[in-house]
Amino acid sequence: MLAKTVAVALIAAAVSAAVPSGYENAPNSVFNWTHPVDGDDAFVTSALTMLQSIDNSTDVDSCEKCKSRLLYGKAIAISRPDLIPTIFEKWCLDTGNFSAKTCSTNYHRNTADNSTTGSNFADLLTLIDPLSIDAEYWCAYKAGGQCNAPELPQNLSIAHLWNYTKPEKAYNVLAPGSDIMKILHISDFHIELDYTVGAEANCTASMCCTPHSKAAKNAVSANQTSIDDLYTALFKGSYYDLDGTYHKGEKITALSNISVPATTFGNYVCDAPEVLINSSLHSIADFQISNNISFDFAIFTGDLVDHDEIQYTSYEQCIEAETVIFNDIKNVFDLIPIYPVLGNHDTFPYGQLAPQKSGFQSKFDWNANLIADLWMDYDWIDIDEAQEAKTHYTGYSVNTKSGLKVIAFNSNAWYQKNEYAYINTVEDPDYFGVFEFLVNELLESESKDQRVWIIFHIPVSQTMLPPQAKLFTELVERFSPYTIAHIFNGHTHRDEFQILYQNNNGTVESKKESELINFTWITQAVTPWVQNNPAWRYYEIDTETFQVMDVHNYYTRLNETFTTEADPVWEYLYSPRKAYPVEWPKTSPLNATYWHRVYQSMLNDVSVLQTYEGNAKRWSPYTSDCAADGSCDWDLCYVSSFTEDEYETCLKHYKYVSEN
């Protein structure tokens, strides 16, 4: 409920208006307010006074204030959504609590030049129910924790989508056959389009390795000569030709006043220059040639656009990043089909995606149309699948030649940074229609005894809204082990896995081998951002059950490219079967049981934990020393949790490091 002081302030400005249906009982009729008639300036001033009154009130907590702002914002948005960005950006600045950058990112009206989301916020206000749990979720995740995350309603379910009964056969665990196919998994390229050889790579408060990198304070080191010796690979304009031959560019000297110059192939605090992306792609092509194999297909789990600041992230650059990378992939892999998904960066503005039901979907059609057509042009998906992708926010399903079905969806639908994800989170938790799409695909496959892989960018545990995370796990449980063979994610840039248990209450004791449901693969990135070596992997897949029998990881040591004239050397990193001390028959798949035992081994032996953490970062120079300071212990909670709630519970309440 609105506190009295706030409500009084709201009433003070009331003139008269129709109350939208459903809000008849809103506190003191907040909707009984229309803008002053003497122009927009007066409207804005009046609105700011109202927001100020909310801030000034002393007997309400930050959560109530945040919800009041949404309620009041909605009252404005009903009649003047166009003024929302102006009002809220000004309010944000006036509070003195937020940087100009934060206020601009969150509230400045949308333009094609900068990735600001004020117009998306206005869209949200017109649709959100500010008296519902949605407002609490918004205030928790979009407004920096002004509310605590609300209690997850226990009765959430999407079981009606599959007619409640799980058929007997769907409990069957299938045994692998004897043939293998090889599938490539690549992810998170994050091309830095304005990567500049010689620019500052030791920068503050900006993206490094760009013309706009802000140099670190006192950046020029006392021993500049030694720094120059450490970073000599300054070849501007280097590239690979279509045959994969590397052409070294012109040697330059670093700009003056640079403490650490950005070298040809990248730096650990920068996103990937295109030449690094092509180096990774050609290393894969070379691998196929030297081993005389061809991948049957590849999956790409998202993120093409870089992490640059909003004023350097434009609509044009989003399109350029998407088209440049898919074009590079097509050039190198030619006839090998790639099944991609888009990531949280692959949209404009950042992280946004509107449901069709919302009426705002047309703001994002350009992306779905561009991407679906591009994938179709490259022969990765056919015209029907492209049509499906256009209507499902670039989600689609493909029946591969091998008989496996790959289902891809756009995880921005449930992303905590997406304004549109806060509409009907609980009332209509499938507001995007993604669950219905997934379930229909899975039911169809189940009825045909077909196996399925599900691919999406953001793992369930990473900033997925809790109601949708819960429903997704319900779905995974329903369709495991018979239909869902595997789940693949990217996003974290680390090489990780996460296990789903039946009754996980965060304690080590509750994570029982007898209660395994499934797990997800999270793959490495090609971008070195932040502090990782670039990497890719391929799987050995059983051609009967489409389970992973082994996985082979390749990487390059980026620091070795800092001084060399040559292009990166890509090397074999590891296979879990050899790296982890878990007895596992060659004929058994790397399934949830296998990963549960790897987890147990990490729990009991810090050297195994170290192996995991090193592999997660591909042994970059920034790899933690796990034995030294317990700095890897969080991994133990992380790998044994599937949702953010499970992970937080594990971290907060329970001892997760074993006694011995």
E strands, 201-249, where?
A: 235-236, 239-240, 246-247
Chosen residue from 480, 489, 523, 641 binding ligand NAG by CB under 6 A: 480
CB of 17 to ligand NAG, least distance (A): 8
Does 652 bind ligand NAG (CB under 6 A)? Our answer is no
560 scored as a contact of ligand NAG (CB under 6 A): yes
Among 83, 201, 260, 342, which residue interacts with ligand NAG (rule: CB under 6 A)?
A: 260
CB 405 within 8 A of CB 451: yes
Q: Of the ranges 329-337, 389-397, 516-524, 610-618, which one interacts with ligand NAG (CB under 6 A)? A: 516-524
**Is residue 621 close enough to count as binding ligand NAG by CB under 6 A?**
yes
End-to-end CA distance of the chain: 50
Q: By CB under 6 A, is residue 510 in contact with ligand NAG?
A: yes
In whole angstroms, how close is the CB of 511 to ligand NAG at the nearest point? 9
Q: How far is the CB of 610 from ligand NAG (least distance, A)?
A: 13
Distance CA 500, CA 518 (A): 5
Residue 32 interacting with ligand NAG (CB under 6 A): yes
- The candidate with the shortest Cα–Cα distance to 349, out of 246, 448, 433, 418, is 418
CB-nearer residue toward ligand NAG: 225 or 291: 225
Single out the residue of 351, 481, 528, 568 in contact with ligand NAG (rule: CB under 6 A). Answer: 481
Structure tokens at 481: 């082990």
Pick from 304, 381, 439, 592 the residue near ligand NAG by CB under 6 A: 592
**Contact of 575 with 569, CB cutoff 8 Å:** no
By the rule CB under 6 A, 362 interacts with ligand NAG: no
Residue 530 to residue 196: CA distance in whole angstroms: 18
Distances in whole angstroms, Cα of residue 563 to Cα of each of 235, 239, 272, 495:
11, 17, 18, 27
- The interface with ligand NAG within residues 80-119 (CB under 6 A) comprises 95, 97, 104, 108, 113-114
Stretch that binds ligand NAG, among 47-55, 453-461, 488-496, 609-617 (CB under 6 A): 47-55
Exactly one of 21, 25, 58, 155 binds ligand NAG (CB under 6 A); which one? 155
Q: At what angle do helices 4-12 and 40-56 cross, to 10 degrees?
A: 160
Residue 85, helix vs strand vs coil: helix
Sheet with strand 516-522: strands edge to edge: 396-399, 405-408, 452-455, 484-489, 516-522, 496-501
Q: How far is the CB of 389 from ligand NAG (least distance, A)?
A: 25
H helix or E strand, kind and range, residue 521: strand 516-522
User: Residue 340: how many CB atoms within 10 A of its CB?
Assistant: 29
Tell me how far apart the alpha carbons of residues 71 and 417 are, in angstroms, rounded to a whole number.
20
Q: Does 591 bind ligand NAG (CB under 6 A)?
A: yes
Figure out which of the listed residues 87, 183, 227, 325 binds ligand NAG, where binding follows CB under 6 A: 227
Residues that bind ligand NAG (CB under 6 A): 14, 16, 19, 29, 32, 49, 52-53, 55-56, 62, 95, 97, 104, 108, 113-114, 153, 155, 163, 165, 167, 173, 202, 216-219, 221, 223, 226-227, 259-260, 311, 480-481, 484-486, 503, 505, 507, 509-510, 516-518, 547, 557, 559-560, 588-589, 591-593, 619, 621
